[in-house]
Amino acid sequence: MAEKLKVELVTPYKKVLSEEVDEITATGALGEFGVLPGHAPFLTSLKIGELAYKQDGVLHHLALNWGYFEVENDKVTVLVETAERSDEIDLERAKAAMSRAETQLKSLAPEDKSFRVYEAALERALIRVQVAGKAKR
């Protein structure tokens, strides 16, 4: 298959990815989706989640924070606030963040303003641990 997707993944700090890939999957606002070359123009927001892409038969994983995803003419543009490659993730830190968020959540009621904050923190930590686990395999 000659056709490839050109992916650009940008955060406010740097350009994380700029590569040609065969396939890409991510978690959108309405759930997980996959994109192959020849996809129709598509625009969605991303939730805290995982982004995986296949390049030359190898799967790569990234943990993403809030973001936005666009496909047009086999060109994929991803804007995210943070993105970490699976091998860049500090597993210890993510686990510590997870337990910290968990204890905070236990002491808070769902009505509290900071409840959402810790919930999001927990979600982020969970994804990080998940993605980091995939790198080891």
Partner 1 sequence: MANLKSIKKRIVSVKNTRQITKAMKMVSAAKLRRAQENVVAARPYAAKLAEVLERLAKSQDTDASPLMVKRDGGRALLMVVTSDRGLCGGFNANLCKAAERFLRERKGDFSEVSLMTLGRKGYEFLRNRHQVRKNHGNIFSTLSYQTASLIAAEVIEGYLAEEYDEVYIIFNAFKSVMTQDITIQQLLPVVPQDSGEEEVQTQYIYEPSKGALLDELLPKHIDVQIFKALLESVASEHGARMTAMDSASKNATEMIGKLTLIYNRARQAAITTELMEIISGAESIKG
With respect to partner 1, which residue has the nearer C-beta, 28 or 60? 28
The closest of 30, 46, 16 to 124, measured between CA atoms, is 46
Of 1, 2, 41, 58, which lies in the binding site for partner 1, with binding defined by CB under 8 A?
41
DSSP string, 60-99: EEEEE-SEEEEEETTEEEEEES-EEEGGG--HHHHHHHHH
Q: Which amino acid is present at 76?
A: V
**Could you say whether residue 20 binds partner 1 (CB under 8 A)?**
no
Q: Which amino acid is present at 57?
A: G
**Could you say whether residue 55 binds partner 1 (CB under 8 A)?**
no
Of 6, 22, 74, 77, which lies in the binding site for partner 1, with binding defined by CB under 8 A?
77
**Could you say whether residue 79 binds partner 1 (CB under 8 A)?**
yes
Q: Which amino acid is present at 109?
A: A
What is the residue whose two structure tokens read 């236990």? 106
**Could you say whether residue 44 binds partner 1 (CB under 8 A)?**
yes
Q: Which stretch binds partner 1 (CB under 8 A): 13-21, 55-63, 89-97, 113-121?
A: 13-21
Which residues sit at the interface with partner 1, rule CB under 8 A? 10-15, 28-30, 33, 40-45, 66, 68, 70, 72, 77, 79, 81
